[in-house]
Structure formats: C-alpha cells, structure tokens
Structure 1
Amino acid sequence: MFLGHFAVAFAAKKADKTLSLGSTMLAAQWLDLLWPVLLLTGTETAAIAPAGSNIPLEFTSYPFSHSLLTVAGWALLFAVVFYGITKQLRSAFVIAFLVLSHWFLDWLVHIPDLPLTPFSNEKLGLGLWNYKTAELLLELLMYAIAVALFFKSRVNPGKRKSIITWSLIIFLLVIHIMNVFGPPPPAITPVAVVGLLQWIFVAWGYWAD
C-alpha cells in the first residue's frame, strides 16, 4: 500500500479543512517514514523476496513501526502532541485516525506479516497484494475519490498552489505505477534510503497547502 495511504491524507482535508495537507500526509504515512530509519539502524529487518514473488519485499520484523499495539501508541502520541500545539480537539482526533488507518490499510493488502504487538508471534494480513490487478484498481479508486474530496474542501487556493498540488498528485501516481510495474529492488539498503525520501512528500504537502 502506497497510494492508498496518501489517498487517506488527501481525503482527511474534507473532514477538517484547518489541517494542512503536509500534516495529514505526515500522520497517514508516519509508519513508513519511521520504518526506513529503523531498518538502517538494524532495529527492524526486511529482505528481498525470491524472484517471481508477487511481493518484492519480505517484512521479517517490524514490531516498533508496524505492530498494532505500537501503532495505537503512535496515534495517541500524535494526537496529544498535535492537540498540545493547536488546541484543536477535532484535528487531533483526525490526526490520530490517520496514523491508525495506516495499519488497517496495510492489513488489507499485506500477507500475514503484521504483528499485533512487539511481543507476539501472531501476525495478520489479508493478502490483497497477491491479486495485483484488484489491489491496483482499489488504490487508484481510493486516490481518485480522495483527490476529488480534497478539491471540494479547498477554497480559492490560487494558481500557484494549484500547480504545486497537481504536480504532487501526478508525481505520487507516477511513483506508484513505477512501484507496481518496475523491477524489484536490488537490495534492502537502497529500499531504506529511497524510503527516507518520502519526507519530501510531506514537505511538498505543506508547500501545496
């Protein structure tokens, strides 16, 4: 799941117009922004899947970034920090929902590799990634609906902001298509390094909105 997480971030603007797109992207994508750091430090692990696999990566251990218990903790932390900064209870709830939504969207597409807690061997995942066409269509549909909702929530952004926003929307779509149809990554370290570049999308979101 890549585009789907950003879809939720775009759609969240309809729920709370006061939130910046950068903030909703930060919350919705937080787990995947944290994961590369933990991967590079050896705190969590992953491997390149064997040739011919439907999924290019094997997520062997990511208890701190992707277990349901820790994700709930991250969601609570985001809500508390965001409320402390903004004093907006509604916005804090939306931000917490976005953080938590990441796990449930991953649960939909991942094979059973998502841990319930850092201490549990039980792992979950419905495995929609095994059905490439269906998964792609789902994410594209989510993205299209979310972008439409985003623009319905926007009032007179101006030409410059519109260009910045549309460039972000198109760039994310291109990246997603490349991820789906491109060659598998050569090694895990490049995956982590490229993953860190997702912070650019957060900055882009603040720039656009």
Structure 2
Amino acid sequence: MFLGHFGAALAAKPLQPRVSLGTLFLAAQLADLLWPTLLLLGVERVQIVPGLLAASPFNFEYYPFSHSLLAQVLLGLALGVGYGLLRRNWRGALLVGLLVPSHWLLDLLMHRPDLPLALGTSPKLGLGLWHYLVPTLLLELSTLAAGLWVYVRRTRPRTPAGRYGLWVLAALLVLSYLSAELGPTPASVPALAWGGQALWLFVALGYWVDAKREAVVV
C-alpha cells in the first residue's frame, strides 16, 4: 500500500492536533522510508519480476528489519518515546507510536504472503489484493480521499499556501502513485531504491502544509 498510509496519517490528525502532519506521515510510512536505504546497503533484498502480480512486480525476498510486525512495533515504540521526550506530548507520542505498525496492518491487505511477523525464520502473511489491479487502485485512492476529507473538515488554512499547498500535496501523491503503478517497471533495484528516497519529500511537505493550517475546534 502507498496512498493508504498517507490517508491513515491524514485521518489521524484530529486525534492529536498538536502533532504535525509531517510527523504522522513519518510514522505511517516509516517502514517504506527505511526500506530503500536498507536495499542500497544490501541489508534487505527484493527482486523485480515484471508481471508477478497485477499491481506489483516486486518479489520481497528479505525485509524483516523494515517490514516485519515485530520490527514495526519496536520502531513505533522508539519513535513514540522519542517524540514524547522531545515534545512532552505523551498522548501524541502514543498516536505516533501506533501509526508505525499500522503500516504492517494495511500492507497485510495488499501483499501476497510475504510479510514476516518477526526477525529471522518467521511465518509470513498477506491477503493478496495486489493480484487485482482495479480493486487495488480503488482502495488506495478511496483511502487517501477519506483521509483528506477528515483532515479538511478538522483543519482550516491560515494562509493561501495552507489552502492550495494541501491540494498540491494530494496531487503529487496521486501522480506519484499512478506513475509507479501504471508506468514502466523500475530498471533495477538500485533505481528503485534511489527513487524511493523521494518519499522523504512528502514528509517535508507534510510539515510545511500543516504549519500553514490550524485545527478547527468542534
């Protein structure tokens, strides 16, 4: 899943308005933010197999440090505690910590059984929605749309940048997703990994957009 993680972060914003959208993006997408670097370092492995699944050409051979449930729970604990110590907002820290393993739960819907539960030898799970392109596209787009709806209802722009920047961010997310899903398969694993570093741009945009908006009191 890609857009769905951002949708979850957007929908979580009203639960703790003091937590920046950028931090929520960071938490919800931490697994995919770490994975490209781990690929480049040779710590984790993937094969690119065109046609493997209708909505994904990736054979995930080994990625327990970024995508196992245990690793994401531990990463969530670390990120949540770090946020709590830095911001002195422990309710926000709980939300940040829980968003990290939400990534595994959402990915469970999409992946074939290749998501490990733990490090080392471990059972692997996955419900396999990536076998079907149209349902995958509908779920991704609708989840992002739902998150945007919640975020727009519970925040308001303080500046024109806050109004239009949000829709630029949403458009970039959709274009990035559709170009990856419907465009050419990555030429190599290093090309995939370097391209994956662009995810950090969306985290930065999340901080920027959220700073231009304010919570709506209901």
Which interval holds the TM-score relative to the shorter structure?
A: over 0.9
Partner of residue 97, structure 1? 98
- How many angstroms apart in 1 are the aligned matches of 2:152 and 2:31? 26
- How many angstroms apart in 2 are the aligned matches of 1:92 and 1:51? 41
Task: Tell me how far 1:21 sits from its aligned partner.
Answer: 1.0
Partner of residue 155, structure 2? 154
Partner of residue 24, structure 1? 24
Task: Tell me how far 1:15 sits from its aligned partner.
Answer: 1.4
Q: Percent identity?
A: 42
Residue 71 of structure 1 contacts residue 100 of structure 1 at CA under 8 Å; is this kept in 2? Answer: yes
Pairing 1:109-188 to 2, within 5 Å after superposition: 109-188=110-189
Moved more, 49-58 or 127-136: 49-58
- How many angstroms apart in 1 are the aligned matches of 2:29 and 2:148? 16
TM-score normalised according to structure 2 size = 0.92
Partner of residue 216, structure 2? none
Task: Tell me how far 1:121 sits from its aligned partner.
Answer: 3.4
- How many angstroms apart in 2 are the aligned matches of 1:28 and 1:157? 25
Residue 52 of structure 2 contacts residue 58 of structure 2 at CA under 8 Å; is this kept in 1? Answer: no
Task: Tell me how far 1:162 sits from its aligned partner.
Answer: 1.5
Partner of residue 201, structure 2? 200
1:8 aligns to 2:25 (yes or no): no
C-alpha change, 1:141 and 1:176, in structure 2 (3 Å) is same
Aligned partner letter, 1:102: H
Aligned partner letter, 1:22: G
Partner of residue 80, structure 1? 81
Task: Tell me how far 1:158 sits from its aligned partner.
Answer: 1.9
Residue 3 of structure 1 contacts residue 140 of structure 1 at CA under 8 Å; is this kept in 2? Answer: yes
The runs of 5 or more residues in structure 1 that have no matched partner are none
- Give the number of aligned pairs: 209
- Report Cα offsets for 1:45-83 as digits up to 9, x if no partner: 001114464221111000100111111100111111011
Q: Which structure shows the higher strand fraction?
A: 2
Aligned partner letter, 1:66: H
RMSD: 1.2
- How many angstroms apart in 2 are the aligned matches of 1:178 and 1:155? 30
- How many angstroms apart in 1 are the aligned matches of 2:53 and 2:103? 24
- How many angstroms apart in 2 are the aligned matches of 1:52 and 1:44? 19
